[in-house]
A = this chain, B = another copy of it.
Amino acid sequence: MALRVYNTLSRRKEEFRPLHEGFVGIYVCGPTVYDHPHIGHAKSYISFDVVVRYLRHLGYRVRYVQNITDVGHLTDNADQGEDKIEKRAAAERLEPMELVEIYMRSYFEDMDALGNLRPDISPRASGHIPEQIELVKVLLDKGYAYEVGGSVYFSVEKFGGYGKLSGRRFQEQWEAVRIAPNPEKRHPADFALWKRAEPGHILRWPSPWGWGYPGWHLECSAMSMKYLGETLDIHGGGMENIFPHHECEIAQSEAATGKPFVRYWMHNNMVTVEGTKMGKSLGNFVTIKEALKSYSPMALRLFVLGSHYRSPVDYTEEAMRAAQRGWERLNRAVQMVKERIRYAPDGPEDRELSEAVRRCERDFSEAMDDDFNTPGALGALFELTREVLAGLESGTPSRTTLKKVEDLYSRLAGGVLGFRFEEEGGGREEELLDLLVEVRAELRRAKNWELADRIRERLRELGIALEDRPEGTVWRRYS
């Protein structure tokens, strides 16, 4: 079966075919770095990380571009209000670019913790002013834009395709804006490509229209086309960006190049908290750093991948506890397989477990090919895990079989879904445990049951179980 992707533009799943066979160019709208990332960012960027990972797994050479917005994103979507970066920098008494460094670092720190691969290119809006100015010039030359008093606006009436992504018509768009129309705009739905800098505005650059700064939508068109060409294979982002952000990107890009801007538009749904939309004003804003105080990064990853990227997911304590337990179960199974490989018998393949591996691989691929159905893919992995744990409990699978299981976990759970399996602790811990097991064996030989049992009890308190077997005692971590 071939990969099928839901395209927001056509509102249906389509077979995935990139522009150039074997290569995929993907652009995902990155964060505006004026605060620590929240769990909505976790959903968005884990989802697209898995898209990139799966495309690579299928053999594509992928170039993944994700921007950093460090200028031009205003507090109000309708080209008014303050620059978010400048506003926060003033509040923190920092140079805007100091603020950007702090939150850009915080962003990558959290993404690294969650196991997301770094984008191949992370272009910054403030670092691509000439490219944005050039694009505005082209749009002016072609008659799609007009200048008023140092600002340049895109004329939506000139571009026939405006509204094709969101399905919104002008009247609706205007109503959606719900603010007093800007008198400089010829049509209320027109949007700013370049804004003149009012006095006191710090983030500004010289342009043919005077000192100013780029409109928010412009950066994504300029940077995506610079690094991926005039037609992108995939453009991703949150659903809340369909309108106006992505609608405007299409308009300005296609008006400038005369070519289709994006082949597949992909949009992820949002994270709610206890059933309500997350928002700073609502006081239910959860940062990734806060979430990671209570849950492990891989549990948060499992929580996100446990729902489809196009479905909303509700962040609750119960759901996160379930994700934490699920992650620990998966991680423990992987660790147990690794440990058992050390002393597993040579021998032929175990039929049942080998069959389970094949089934898992097939179900995983089918799910992922169906518009990156990660809940289905996880289901296949947990089904396998159930059989692996049963197999380990009831028998001694051969090394060959266990290696197949390990390989599958590594490729699919690790490589595609991005889970990072790790033994806890490390360092000398294992050697100390081996020594305790050895001392306890001596104590049992000497019939010092009391002290031997005390060791077992104390280890249990530390989350380590001792299993006495004919071939000797084995320790394993259960927490």
Contact = CB atoms under 8 A, between A and B. Distances in A.
A440 to B, nearest CB: 9
A66 to B, nearest CB: 11
A123 B455 CA distance: 57
A120 B427 CA distance: 34
Contacts of A451: 439, 442-443
A428 interface: yes
A439 B425 contact: no
Contacts of A184: none
Nearest to A431: B462
Query: Looking at chain A's contact residues, is the secondary structure mostly helix, strand, loop, or mixed?
Result: helix
Contacts of A429: 425, 427-429, 432
A456 to B, nearest CB: 11
A458 interface: yes
A297 B462 CA distance: 32
B118 A95 contact: no
Q: What is the count of identical protomers in the complex?
A: 2
A448 interface: yes
Given A123-B97, A130-B206, A436 B425 contact: no
A210 to B, nearest CB: 13
Interface string A420-431: 000011111101
B126 A129 contact: no
A433 interface: yes
Given A425-B427, A428-B462, 17 more contacts: A63-B95, A101-B120, A105-B118, A124-B127, A130-B205, A424-B427, A425-B428, A426-B427, A429-B429, A431-B462, A432-B432, A435-B455, A435-B459, A436-B436, A439-B439, A439-B451, A439-B455
